[in-house]
Amino acid sequence: MRQTVDEVIGVARTEGIDADIAKDGVLFVARSPAQLKRLREDVDEARTWGETDDDVRLLDRHELARRVTIDGALAASYSPHCAAVQPAKLVRGLASAVERLGVHIHENTTATAIAPRTVRTGRGTVTATHVLRCLEGFTASIARQRRAWLPMNSSMVVTEPLPDPVAAQVGWHRREVFGDVAHAYMYAQHTADGRIALGGRGRPYRFGSRTDHNGRTPGTTVASLTALLRTLFPATARVPIAHAWCGVLGVPRDWSTTVTYDRATGLGAAGGYVGSGLAATNLAGRTLADLVLGTDSELTGLPWVGRRVRNWEPEPIRWLGVRAMYTMYRRADRDEYRSQSAATSAIARFANMISGR
């Protein structure tokens, strides 16, 4: 995955794709004693995999403040193996790059069912030697795939460009991306044009694996993310929110990514990135290419190849379970902030158990 970050950067450079890429690393921030304990445990676990301070290290609050001022932060971990990117620019640039290679991209054609060497669409049936399903959260829209991967909604808000006095108070001089170690976690980046983009779970799941349309974001979700932004960065209190949008992630029942290909049927699939897809899709795509071509490579031997994941539970159990899980995670976060205990909430541990995480 770390090599893949550099792979994406290299391809973007070679193909002349301007996607506002900045490899300034990633921060995970702790804002309560329980989060701090989990953060330290994560770094300790990284050490068991042979990682050193050059790969991931703890920053105290003063070291963190020299990078970015986050209200209430106790500490953070930092890894250089991550890059910020403007994903829409990357997608458009990649589309242009593959079209220059002779690839035809057919848009406005909805796939409704998949069978060996066949895809049924609203405009007719397509036949092909290889059919690769790489729909992530939209997998549930395919016939008989509704319980394969759960479409988890994730929403974002982005500010107007920060005025110079506000930017000076925030102090986010570079473009590290950051998240936290809360149970109902958030993620953010400092954009190339000086905005803060922040995301998290609003309404995490719609009954029957339905997805939102055209990125429309509920007002309550926008208000919640805006309040979190103001809490983390009080200096932004008067900076307007410019846009809000949402999308869906693909979540397997065991929360682990899968790449599969069956030569007998020509059917393959990749996905279940649970929000980490921008690099993982590149690695999975190169893995699928080797599987289709019959190339025995380092990629085809990765442990995510050929995994079988059980389906999610039927409705209404699925909806009740996800709703209960995120209700418990939010309650656990509130309890941990309120109690200031270093122990992870028992409610969160129970939610982890039923979620399969």
pLDDT of residue 212 exceeding 80: no
Residue 210 has pLDDT above 90, yes or no: no
Q: Is the pLDDT of residue 63 over 80?
A: yes
Q: Helical H runs in 178-275?
A: 219-232
Q: What is the pLDDT confidence band of residue 345, given thresholds at 50, 70 and 90?
A: very high
Query: Is 58's pLDDT higher than 90?
Result: yes
Q: Sorting pLDDT into bands at 50, 70 and 90, what band is 148?
A: very high
As a whole number, the mean pLDDT across the chain is: 94
Q: What is the pLDDT of residue 203?
A: 77
Which residues are CB-contacts of 115 (< 8 A; sequence separation ≥ 6)? none
- Residue 215 dihedral angles phi and psi, to the nearest 5°: 75, 15
Over residues 14-24, the pLDDT tens digits come to: 999 999 999 99
Q: Which helix (H) or strand (E) holds 153?
A: strand 150-159
CA triplet 179, 149, 152: central angle to 5 degrees?
Answer: 40
- Mean pLDDT, to the nearest integer, of 296-302? 96
Q: What is the mean pLDDT of residues 244-258?
A: 91
> What CA–CA distance (Å, rounded) separates 226 from 99?
39
Highest-confidence range of 3-7, 213-217, 277-281, by mean pLDDT?
A: 3-7
Give me the mean pLDDT over the 21-30 stretch: 98
Query: Quick one: pLDDT band at residue 290, thresholds 50, 70, 90?
Result: very high
Query: CA 312, CA 10: separation in Å to the nearest integer?
Result: 38
Distance of alpha carbon 268 from alpha carbon 43, whole angstroms: 35
Q: Is the pTM of this model over 0.85?
A: yes
Q: What percentage of the chain exceeds 70 in pLDDT?
A: 99
pLDDT at position 211:
82
Predicted confidence at residue 354, as pLDDT, reads 79
pLDDT at residue 164, rounded to an integer: 97
Single-letter residue type at 23? K
Question: Greatest CA separation found in the chain?
Answer: 62
Whether the per-residue pLDDT at 217 is higher than 90: the answer is: no
> How are beta strands 186-190 and 57-60 bridged, if at all?
unpaired
What is the mean predicted confidence (pLDDT) over 249-266? 94
User: pLDDT value at position 50?
Assistant: 94
Question: Mean pLDDT throughout 196-221?
Answer: 85
In whole angstroms, what is the distance from residue 201 CA to residue 61 CA? 26
What b/e readout covers 305-334, taking b as 16+ CB neighbours within 10 angstroms?
beeebeebeeeeebeebbeebbebbbbbbe
Report strand pairing: 118-121 vs 124-127. Answer: antiparallel
Instruction: For residue 188, count CB atoms less than 10 angstroms from its CB and return exposed for 0-12, middle for 13-18, buried for 19 or more.
Output: buried
User: What Cα–Cα distance (Å) separates residue 164 from each residue in 10, 24, 197, 241?
Assistant: 33, 21, 17, 17
Count of other CB atoms within 10 angstroms of residue 138: 20
Residue 24: its pLDDT value, please?
Answer: 98
Over residues 67-110, the pLDDT tens digits come to: 999 999 999 999 999 999 999 999 999 999 999 999 999 898 99
Other Cβ atoms within 10 Å of 272 Cβ, number: 28
Pair 188, 287: CB distance under 8 Å: no
Res. 347: pLDDT tops 80:
yes
28: pLDDT strictly greater than 80: yes
pLDDT surpassing 80 at residue 318: yes
pLDDT band at 215 (very low <50, low <70, confident <90, very high): confident
